[in-house]
Amino acid sequence: MPRLLPLLLAAGLALPCVAQEADDALGALLAERGVWPAAAEAPAPFAAPSPADHAGDLVIAALNFLDVRYHRGGDSASEGFDCSGFTRHVVSSVLGITLPRRSAEQAQQAGLPPVSRQALKPGDLVFFNTLKRAFSHVGIYIGDGRFVHAPRSGQQVRVERMDTPYWSRRFDGARRVTPTSGS
């Protein structure tokens, strides 16, 4: 968890697993930074989750797979992931939505509205042209100009900045996945 905390704070995400007691130092720090409500402001235990909650769940789930090895055609932590297998697995496990297998098909999936680079929110799918064809690579935006993805053979799932020259030049667009996106 210590490794994930700076990423989650940078993304501005609330942590549902953090205790809210007044003597909880981590909970107090998160409340002070405005990413977790103070104990007095805690939401009702049966409040319906908002779309932002689902975005946070997508980001947290994606970050749980950091360092899982890349495997072409892979779609599980045990065998490894390729880029589209990674996004497909995370979205399916969090939202129950089955995305198509290939990144280009995910980009064209009905019910996933396009999102501009300026309007990106955590949990959005981000697409890149890495093989001289549109939408040949996909990852999950986590906020603060960063995304998590399964990069290529010999690598592992990792977080990268979208504003590096390599990724910035290759950005193809983004799509928003919501619980109402359908399957």
In the residue annotation, 89 being an active-site residue is answered as: no
Given 17, 71, 83, 89, which residue is catalytic? 83
Statement: residue 16 has pLDDT above 50? no
Closest of 57, 9, 53, 55 to residue 35, by C-alpha: 9
Q: Indicate whether 127 pLDDT > 90.
A: yes
pLDDT value at 131 more than 60: yes
Active site residue 54: no
- Report residue 142 CA to chain centroid gap: 5
Give the domain ranges of the chain.
Answer: 51-175
Task: Fold for 51-175, please state it.
Answer: endopeptidase fold (from Nostoc punctiforme) (3.90.1720)
The answer to whether residues 125 and 174 touch, using CB atoms and an 8 Å cutoff, is yes
